[in-house]
A and B are shown apart, each in its own frame.
Chain A
Amino acid sequence: MTDIQSHTLSILVENHYGVLTRVAALFARRGYNIDSLAVGRTEDPDVSRMTIVVYGDDAVIEQVIKQLYKLIEVIKVIDLSQEEYVDRELALIKVAATSETRAEILQIVEIFRAKVVDVGSGTMMIEITGGSEKISAMEKLLRPFGIKELARTGKVGLLRGPKDTAKEK
């Protein structure tokens, strides 16, 4: 039995009606927990990419991948965590900001190389992109000011270098 770890699965699927339901329902009925799920089109309009972060030991992840392959519309599954890869997530954070706190918030924004995308009366909206840890760190720092709302996209990822998900083993 190996340790329970976070795995980032990159799944190429046919861009068909209902395919998201099939994948999500598979995770639900087999009892696998999805930590995040992001889905969108790829360079091929007929193919969508799902990036799913799931926790499990090696045996569970092996089953997850095999079960995914049993879905007729799943073309390719890669466990990015086993490879060299880049992953990013984007978050929008609406934080309470007064004339006293604004400067301090801006300083945090700068340190994290984030962006202010909206300023309202008493609030600022910050856009941040990066690895999940970076986003969580920023969220932690902003929390004392009062986070009004937060939206995270979930992780997306690609293999580094010339490697292509569709062509990998």
Chain B
Amino acid sequence: MTKNSAEQMNGAKAFIESLKKEGVDTIFGYPGGVLLHIYDEIYDCDLRHILVRHEQAAAHAADGYARATGKTGVCLATSGPGATNLVTGIATAHMDSIPIVAFTGQVTSSLIGNDAFQEANITGITLPITKHNYLVQKAEDIPKSIKEAFYIASTGRAGPVLVDITKDATINELKFSYPDKVELRSYKPTMKGNSKQIQNAAAMIVKAKKPVIYAGGGVIAANASSELYKLAELVSAPVTTTLMGMGAFPMDHPLFIGMPGMHGTKYANFSIQDSDLLIAVGVRFDDRVTSKLSSFASGAKIIHIDVDPAEISKNMAVDLPIVGDAKFVLEDLIPAVSEKIISGKTADWVKRVGQWKKEYPLAYKDDGTSIKPQFVIETLCEVAPDAIVATEVGQHQMWTAHYFKFKKPRKLITSGGLGTMGYGLPAAMGAKAGCPDQVVFDVAGDGSFQMNSQELATLVTNDIPVISVILNNGYLGMVRQWQELFYDCHYSHTDIIDSVDFVKLAEAYGALGLRVEKKSELKEAVQTAIQSGRPAVIDVRVDRGENVFPMVPAGASINELIDERKYGGI
């Protein structure tokens, strides 16, 4: 259908046609009163609709789909409670700059503002957690709004866009024609970096003796991992990646120094603090990374490359900002550096960082009597090194970031900015729906898993074999850790031991349930789950008191870490 051959149809059909024009293949949704016309079109359309069991999961699944595939994720919910249930998922995507388009039904336009049944002002509610949103009240506005929504969601600094469509707009007729391009005079993201700034950056990089590359989610969003790799090798600079940037640089590379910040490696934090040049790419100097800002990389000049001009000097004053897409900027920066670089200039620095790496490795004590959670992650990595790993939020998330050696981008799917418990299972579902040929784990804690475990039903019904691995310590572990370290072991409302039998829960939904109580059983259980081809839950009974180390206490500088040696262990 081209622009010239406009076809008469109702808004609901135009909605479906618009999604097809955007290349959408999968929608995560849940029907409701104002969506009946749309669901009548979904009834016999060839888009894959996955019926979730809670709208929050639809938003997380769209987000997981987007992170794993690089395409824009789509979710759909009805007005009122359906729409408000999306809110946590939209906020999660917003904090991590993930492209999703969330569609909501709205009450008939003449009823808006009357407190009608299942009415919620969702455009108002999502104002601060969307990149942009639309209230569509006319059928003829549906194609243009959808075109713009996908464009805005996926360009510049990506993010969620919500499109709220009234019931009458889905019923009324329009002449359908889909716009070829978007024209927004007020929205033109800068993709290419300023060439003079890039030359200046190259000069700083060539001069540096102790450079560190600090890379984040912006590198993955821009698909700039290979450029990052080239730059790192060219400069021979150690690379630290944030939680959002995990996999942007291979974790088994000798220049890789782990994650920075609160639960960063000692050698990453020491390197940042001792560096003379910090090359920050696609990062936002988040407080979990910088901790005490005034002492963060205080001896270093800072180059900050980011697609969002508002991130420049928001948290951290920098010496040289470059606004642009990480891929475009790095593509220009690499030849500029390579013209002037003198090889071997950083050799002493790399050696020193290597010594820190040897001296303060990520480590845990394994006496063989209990299952250490870190060992579980190492085992997953051993059995399925190329798997996609979604996580929930808490200790297990940090252990995953430390011990699963991601080699490629779009493999770790985790809620970094918002820290949303209950994210992992539906996000893993979205990732598996988008990448059916890959092994997909949801690494969970026993607390987080209970926040969206109803999605086991969606997995089983739609035959989406995600493997949930619960590091079950019977605690809300991260909070318990803080209570142990800073609140005199007052375990206030964090002990949740034996709240549910996860194996029976899995079986109740028709999924495979496995329990692991001995180290020796673990590997086989993981292999069994993968081979079963079914959605599975592995309940691993891990050491209850294990803590995430190293750790920077709140308000300290990032080189003031505590670890199990200093703390004396549990």
Whole-angstrom CA separation of A118 from B196 in the bound complex: 62
Inter-subunit contact A75/B185 (CB<8 Å): yes
* With known contacts A14-B186, A29-B128, A62-B313, A70–B308 Cβ distance under 8 A: yes
Whole-angstrom CA separation of A76 from B300 in the bound complex: 35
A contact residues, total (Cβ < 8 Å): 20
For B123, give the chain A residue with the smallest CB separation.
A18
- 8 Å CB contact of A69 from B131, B310, B312: B310
User: Smallest Cβ distance from A120 to chain B, in angstroms?
Assistant: 37
For B137, give the chain A residue with the smallest CB separation.
A17
21 interchain pairs (CB within 8 A)?
A: A13-B186, A14-B186, A17-B135, A18-B123, A21-B127, A25-B127, A25-B128, A62-B313, A63-B310, A63-B313, A63-B314, A66-B310, A66-B314, A70-B131, A71-B132, A72-B131, A72-B152, A72-B186, A73-B186, A74-B186, A75-B185
Whole-angstrom CA separation of A71 from B123 in the bound complex: 14
Number of A-B contacts (CB under 8 A): 37
B residues near A59, Cβ cutoff 8 Å:
313
Whole-angstrom CA separation of A63 from B309 in the bound complex: 9
B residues near A18, Cβ cutoff 8 Å:
123, 135
Inter-subunit contact A21/B124 (CB<8 Å): yes
Inter-subunit contact A67/B310 (CB<8 Å): yes
Whole-angstrom CA separation of A31 from B131 in the bound complex: 19
For A66, give the chain B residue with the smallest CB separation.
B310
B residues near A21, Cβ cutoff 8 Å:
124, 127
Whole-angstrom CA separation of A73 from B130 in the bound complex: 14
User: Smallest Cβ distance from A37 to chain B, in angstroms?
Assistant: 17
Is B570 engaged at the interface, CB distance under 8 Å to the other chain?
no
Q: Mark A85-129, 1 if CB is under 8 A from B, else 0.
A: 000000000000000000000000000000000000000000000
Those 9 A-B pairs whose CB atoms lie nearest each other, nearest first: A66-B310, A75-B186, A72-B132, A72-B187, A29-B128, A25-B127, A66-B309, A67-B310, A70-B310
B residues near A7, Cβ cutoff 8 Å:
none
Inter-subunit contact B310/A22 (CB<8 Å): no
User: Smallest Cβ distance from A21 to chain B, in angstroms?
Assistant: 7
Whole-angstrom CA separation of A71 from B152 in the bound complex: 11
User: Smallest Cβ distance from B31 to chain A, in angstroms?
Assistant: 27
Task: Enumerate A1-42 residues with CB–CB distance to B below 8 Å.
Answer: 13-14, 17-18, 21-22, 25, 29
User: Smallest Cβ distance from B341 to chain A, in angstroms?
Assistant: 33
B residues near A69, Cβ cutoff 8 Å:
309-310
B residues near A72, Cβ cutoff 8 Å:
131-132, 152, 184, 186-187
User: Smallest Cβ distance from A168 to chain B, in angstroms?
Assistant: 15
For B309, give the chain A residue with the smallest CB separation.
A66
B residues near A67, Cβ cutoff 8 Å:
310
User: Smallest Cβ distance from B316 to chain A, in angstroms?
Assistant: 11
Task: Enumerate B154-195 residues with CB–CB distance to A below 8 Å.
Answer: 184-187
B residues near A75, Cβ cutoff 8 Å:
185-186
B residues near A62, Cβ cutoff 8 Å:
313
Whole-angstrom CA separation of A66 from B310 in the bound complex: 5
For A14, give the chain B residue with the smallest CB separation.
B186
For B314, give the chain A residue with the smallest CB separation.
A63
Whole-angstrom CA separation of A124 from B185 in the bound complex: 48
User: Smallest Cβ distance from B131 to chain A, in angstroms?
Assistant: 7
For B184, give the chain A residue with the smallest CB separation.
A72
User: Smallest Cβ distance from B187 to chain A, in angstroms?
Assistant: 5
A residues near B187, Cβ cutoff 8 Å:
72
User: Smallest Cβ distance from A133 to chain B, in angstroms?
Assistant: 32
Known contacts A72-B132, A72-B152; can you find 13 more A-B pairs with CB under 8 A?
A13-B186, A14-B186, A21-B124, A21-B127, A25-B128, A62-B313, A66-B310, A66-B314, A70-B310, A71-B132, A74-B186, A75-B185, A75-B186
For B148, give the chain A residue with the smallest CB separation.
A72
User: Smallest Cβ distance from B267 to chain A, in angstroms?
Assistant: 33
User: Smallest Cβ distance from B72 to chain A, in angstroms?
Assistant: 16
For B127, give the chain A residue with the smallest CB separation.
A25
Q: Mark B40-80, 1 if CB is under 8 A from A, else 0.
A: 00000000000000000000000000000000000000000
Whole-angstrom CA separation of A63 from B221 in the bound complex: 23
Whole-angstrom CA separation of A70 from B124 in the bound complex: 17
For B152, give the chain A residue with the smallest CB separation.
A72
B residues near A74, Cβ cutoff 8 Å:
186
B residues near A63, Cβ cutoff 8 Å:
310, 313-314
A residues near B152, Cβ cutoff 8 Å:
72
User: Smallest Cβ distance from A93 to chain B, in angstroms?
Assistant: 35
Whole-angstrom CA separation of A154 from B180 in the bound complex: 42
User: Smallest Cβ distance from B226 to chain A, in angstroms?
Assistant: 29
B residues near A73, Cβ cutoff 8 Å:
186
For B312, give the chain A residue with the smallest CB separation.
A66
For B128, give the chain A residue with the smallest CB separation.
A29
Task: Enumerate B120-143 residues with CB–CB distance to A below 8 Å.
Answer: 123-124, 127-128, 131-132, 135
User: Smallest Cβ distance from B94 to chain A, in angstroms?
Assistant: 12
Whole-angstrom CA separation of A63 from B314 in the bound complex: 7
For B311, give the chain A residue with the smallest CB separation.
A66
Whole-angstrom CA separation of A21 from B126 in the bound complex: 12
Inter-subunit contact B127/A22 (CB<8 Å): yes
A residues near B308, Cβ cutoff 8 Å:
70
User: Smallest Cβ distance from B507 to chain A, in angstroms?
Assistant: 45
Q: Mark B305-326, 1 if CB is under 8 A from A, else 0.
A: 0001110111000000000000
Whole-angstrom CA separation of A25 from B169 in the bound complex: 27
Interface centre among A18, A69, A71, A72 (most CB of B within 10 A): A72
Task: Enumerate A131-156 residues with CB–CB distance to B below 8 Å.
Answer: none
A residues near B312, Cβ cutoff 8 Å:
66
For B133, give the chain A residue with the smallest CB separation.
A18
A residues near B313, Cβ cutoff 8 Å:
59, 62-63
Whole-angstrom CA separation of A14 from B183 in the bound complex: 13
For A17, give the chain B residue with the smallest CB separation.
B135
For B187, give the chain A residue with the smallest CB separation.
A72
User: Smallest Cβ distance from A104 to chain B, in angstroms?
Assistant: 49
User: Smallest Cβ distance from B127 to chain A, in angstroms?
Assistant: 5
For B157, give the chain A residue with the smallest CB separation.
A70
A residues near B314, Cβ cutoff 8 Å:
63, 66
Whole-angstrom CA separation of A70 from B312 in the bound complex: 13
Whole-angstrom CA separation of A75 from B314 in the bound complex: 21
User: Smallest Cβ distance from B511 to chain A, in angstroms?
Assistant: 41
A residues near B310, Cβ cutoff 8 Å:
63, 66-67, 69-70
Task: Enumerate B187-231 residues with CB–CB distance to A below 8 Å.
Answer: 187
For A68, give the chain B residue with the smallest CB separation.
B310
B residues near A66, Cβ cutoff 8 Å:
309-310, 312, 314
Whole-angstrom CA separation of A155 from B185 in the bound complex: 27
